[in-house]
Amino acid sequence: MGDAFCLEFKVRDYECDLQGIVNNAVYQHYLEHARHEFLVSRGVDFAALAKEGIHPVVVRAELDYKRSLRPGESFVVETTCTREGKVRIVFLQDIRHADGGLVLSSRFVATVLDGRGRPRIPEGFAASVLGEGSGS
Amino acid sequence: MGDAFCLEFKVRDYECDLQGIVNNAVYQHYLEHARHEFLVSRGVDFAALAKEGIHPVVVRAELDYKRSLRPGESFVVETTCTREGKVRIVFLQDIRHADGGLVLSSRFVATVLDGRGRPRIPEGFAASVLGEGSGS
Amino acid sequence: MGDAFCLEFKVRDYECDLQGIVNNAVYQHYLEHARHEFLVSRGVDFAALAKEGIHPVVVRAELDYKRSLRPGESFVVETTCTREGKVRIVFLQDIRHADGGLVLSSRFVATVLDGRGRPRIPEGFAASVLGEGSGS
Amino acid sequence: MGDAFCLEFKVRDYECDLQGIVNNAVYQHYLEHARHEFLVSRGVDFAALAKEGIHPVVVRAELDYKRSLRPGESFVVETTCTREGKVRIVFLQDIRHADGGLVLSSRFVATVLDGRGRPRIPEGFAASVLGEGSGS
C-alpha cells in the first residue's frame, strides 16, 4: 500500500496461544492500535472527542488470515483510510512480516457517533483524517 | 438460530476499555471460546488432533458490531456450523444480549490443516462436527 | 477459607500460552473479577463511586503460584477481606482446582482514593464491604 | 538500577480499562515480556529448553503499584536478576515513566523445572543468565 501509515511491532510471547502462534483475536489489538496511532498522527484527539460525546466506532470487521506470526517475529501494520458514503470510513490494513510476506489483510468499516448516538462524521474529523475540505 | 449451540457469558470488567464497553477484540475471544466448546461438545479432542499434527485454523473472520456490551451484562453466543466446499467449514455466530437484542453477528471460515500444512477435513472430524457420513 | 466468597470459573483456551498453561498475568484477571463480584455482592456500586470521584485501587499484589491450570479445567476463586489500619483493605484470595488442590494463593492490598486522590475508606464502603459500623 | 536491562514500551489504548488507566494485570504482561527479552539477550533459547523438557517458571510475584500509566504514555521496564539459594532466581523489575517517575516496582521469584518437574537451575542457564561459573 503506497502511502500507507506504517507501524512496526514485535510479537510478545504472551500474545501467543497453545498452538505456539499469535492468537487470532490479538491481531485485532494490533490493528486497533495501528488505527489509533494513525488517527493520532492525523491530529485526532480521542480524549477531546470523548468530552464532546463523539465516539469513533467500528461497525464491521473483515480479516483474512494468510499466515501465522510466531514469538519474537517482527512485522508491520500498514494502514490506509478512505470515505465510503456519507457516514462511513473504511480502513484497509495489511500485516506484513519483516520478510515481506503477507500475514493478514483486513478491512474495517467505522463511523463516528455524535452526542445522540447518531452516525455523523464531524467536519474537522473528515478534514484531518481524510484530507477532505482542504481543496479550493 | 434454531438448533444453535448456546453458551452463556457475563461481561467481566477487565474486558472493557476506555469507552466503558467491551473492547472489539474481546468479542473474538468470546466467539473462539464458544466455537471450541461447541467442537468439544461434538466430540472433537484438540489435544489428540494436535498430536497427529492436525490443526483447525480460521482463514477468514467477518464481524458485524450492532450494539455494545457493558460491565456485568449477560449474553449468549449462539453457534451453528456448515460445510462449504471440500475444505471449508463455516461457523455462524450471533451474540445476543440477555434482553434478546442482537449485539453482534459473525461468520468464521475455517479449515483443518493436516500434518503437511495442507487443508483437508479429516473424515472423523466431518462426521462428528457436521453430522456427515452417518447416514445409511 | 471458611466464609469466603466463592466464584466458579473454567479455563478458556485463549487464556493459555505457549507452555499450554494459563498465563501468569491471566490469574490477576481472574482475581480482579472475583474481587469485583465480591464487592458487588456486598452492595458496592462502582459506577456510582466513580461519579463521586471515588476509586478503589490496588497498591500491592502478592501471588504465590503453586500449580498450573490447563485448558478446560474448572476452578474456584475464594475471596475474603479484612481491614488493615485506617486506609487499607486486604483481600486474601485462593484459587482452588475442582479437584481441591491449591493452584495459587494471593494477597491484595487496596485502598480507596477520594476525589482529591487521597486514600480514605468511605464510611458506607467500610460498612457494606467489611461489615463495620453495623453493630449495636 | 545501575546495570539493568532496559526495555522501552508505549501504552496501547486496548491495555487500558474502564478507569482510563492501564489495567493491573497488564503490568504483568509488560514485566513478563521484559524478562523474556532480558533472557533472550543473555542467550537463553526458550524453544530449545522446552524441547529438553526444561521450563522456567515463576513461583512468586510481588508488585507495588505506585502510579498509573495512561494511554499513549511511554515507559521503561528495568530488569535485574540475581540468584537466591540453590534453585531460585530473583528478578527485580521497576517500571519508570518517561518523565522519570516510578510507576511500579516488583520482585519475581522464579525457578527452572527439569524434565521430571523438579526445580533445578541448569548449569548453562546459570552461566549465561547470571554470569556464574565464568570466573577463574
Percent with pLDDT over 70 in chain A: 96
Question: Which residue on chain C is closest to D28 by alpha carbon?
Answer: C25
* Distance between B66 CA and the closest CA of chain A, angstroms: 7
Half-sphere exposure of A106 (CA within 13 A, CB side): 32
D14-66 pLDDT, tens digit each: 999 988 899 999 999 999 999 999 999 999 988 888 888 888 999 999 999 99
Point out the residue among D25, D60, D64 whose CB comes nearest to the CB of C25: D25
Predicted pLDDT at A54:
86
Q: How many domains does chain B have?
A: 1
Residue A1, pLDDT score: 60
Domain-embedded: residue D57: yes
Q: pLDDT digit string (tens) for C64-83?
A: 999 999 999 999 999 999 99
Q: Vertex B21, ends B93 and B66: CA angle to 5°?
A: 40
**Beta-sheet strand order (sheet of B102-113):** A5-10, A74-84, A88-97, A102-113, A55-65, B55-65, B102-113, B88-97, B74-84, B5-10
Domain membership flag for residue D135: no
User: What value does the CA radius of gyration of chain D take, rounded to a whole number of Å?
Assistant: 16
Alpha carbon distance, N-terminus to C-terminus of chain D: 27
What's the gap in Å between the CA of D32 and the closest CA on chain A? Answer: 8
Alpha-carbon dihedral angle through residues B19, B24, B26, B30, given to the nearest 10 degrees: 120
Residue C47: the pLDDT is 81
B14-39 per-position pLDDT tens digit:
999 988 899 999 999 999 999 999 99
CB-based contact C61 D58, cutoff 8 Å: no
What is the pLDDT of chain B when averaged over all its residues? 92
Query: Using an 8 Å Cβ cutoff, are D55 and C20 in contact?
Result: no
Provide φ and ψ at B110, rounded to 5°.
-125, 165
Chain C positions in Cβ-Cβ contact with residue A18 (cut-off 8 Å): 13, 16-18, 20, 71
Q: Which residues of A touch C71 (CB under 8 A)?
A: 18
Q: Is residue C61 part of a domain?
A: yes
d(CA B55, CA D62): 38
Instruction: Determine whether the interchain pair C13/B46 forms a contact, defined as Cβ–Cβ distance below 8 Å.
Output: yes
Predicted local confidence at residue B42, as pLDDT: 93
Residue D56 contacts by C-beta under 8 Å, 6 or more apart in sequence? D39, D44, D46, D49, D110, D111, D112, D113, D125
Which residue did the predictor score with more confidence, C124 or A29? A29
Q: What is the mean pLDDT of chain C?
A: 92
ipTM: 0.93
pLDDT > 60? residue A11: yes
Distance CA D97, CA D73 (A): 8
Is D136 a member of any domain?
no
Chain A: residue nearest C21 by CA? A18
Name the interface residues of C facing B (CB cutoff 8 Å).
12-14, 29, 32-33, 36, 40, 46, 71-72
Neighboring chain A residues of D36 at a CB cutoff of 8 Å: 12-13
Residue C136 lies in a domain: no
More confident position, D106 or C128? D106
Task: Kindly list the residues from chain D whose CB atom is less than 8 angstroms away from the CB atom of residue A29.
Answer: 12, 14
pLDDT value at residue B81: 95
Task: Work out the average pLDDT over B51-77.
Answer: 94
Q: What percent of chain C has pLDDT over 90?
A: 69
pLDDT of residue D128: 86
A110-119 mean pLDDT? 90
Shortest distance, CA D71 to any CA of chain A (angstroms): 10
Looking at the annotation, which residues of D are catalytic? 17
Residue B136 belongs to some domain of the structure: no
Asked if residues B38 and B130 have their Cβ atoms less than 8 Å apart, the reply is no
Tell me what the pLDDT averaged over chain A comes to: 92
Chain A residue with Cα closest to D29: A14
The closest CB to that of C13, out of B13, B33, B72, belongs to B33
Of the residues B65, B68, B112, the best mutation for testing chain A's interface (the one with the most A CB atoms within 10 Å of its CB) is B65
Q: Is residue B135 part of a domain?
A: no
CB contact under 8 A, C55 and D28: no
Residue-level pLDDT at A130? 84
At A71, which amino acid appears?
P
Identify the closest residue of chain D to B24 by CA–CA distance: D14
Counting beta carbons within 10 angstroms of the beta carbon of residue D119, is it exposed (0 to 12), middle (13 to 18) or buried (19 or more)? middle
Q: Which chain D residues are closer than 8 Å to C111 by Cβ?
A: none
Asked if residue B82 belongs to a domain, the reply is yes
Task: Give the pLDDT of residue D28.
Answer: 98
Residue D62 pairs with which residues in a beta bridge? C62, D107
Do the chains contact at D59 and C50, CB–CB below 8 Å? Answer: no
pLDDT for D136: 46
pLDDT band of residue C123 (cuts 50, 70, 90) is confident
Domain that holds residue D16: 5-130
CATH of residue C122: 3.10.129.10
pLDDT of B132 over the 80 cut: no
Q: What pLDDT shows up at residue D1?
A: 60
Chain D residues inside the 8 Å CB shell of C65: 57-61
To the nearest whole Å, the CA of B36 is away from the closest chain C CA by 8
Q: Strand D55-65 to strand A102-113: parallel, antiparallel, or no bridges (unpaired)?
A: unpaired
Are the Cβ atoms of B14 and D20 closer than 8 angstroms?
no
Q: CA of D7, closest CA in chain A: separation in Å?
A: 13
pLDDT of residue A133: 61
Give me chain D's average pLDDT, please: 92
DSSP A109: E
Best mutation target, D62, D66, D68, to test chain C (most C CBs within 10 A): D62
Q: Which three-class secondary structure state does DSSP give residue D38? A: helix
What pLDDT was estimated at residue C136? Answer: 45
Top residue of B33, B35, B49 to mutate, by most chain C CBs within 10 Å, is B33
The answer to whether B103 and B127 are in contact (CB under 8 A) is no
- The predicted model gives A39-68 an average pLDDT of 91
Contacts of B28 in chain A (CB under 8 A): 24-25, 28
What pLDDT shows up at residue B126? Answer: 83
Which residues of B touch chain A, with CB atoms under 8 Å apart?
A: 18-19, 23-26, 28-29, 32, 50, 55, 57-65
Q: How confident is the model at residue D130 (pLDDT cuts 50, 70, 90)?
A: confident
pLDDT of residue C52: 85
* Chain A residue closest in CA terms to C17: A17
CB contact under 8 A, C18 and A23: no
Share of chain C above pLDDT 70, in %: 96
The pLDDT value given to residue C72: 94
Query: Half-sphere exposure (CA, 13 Å, Cβ side) for D42?
Result: 22
pLDDT category at B136 given cuts 50, 70, 90 is: very low
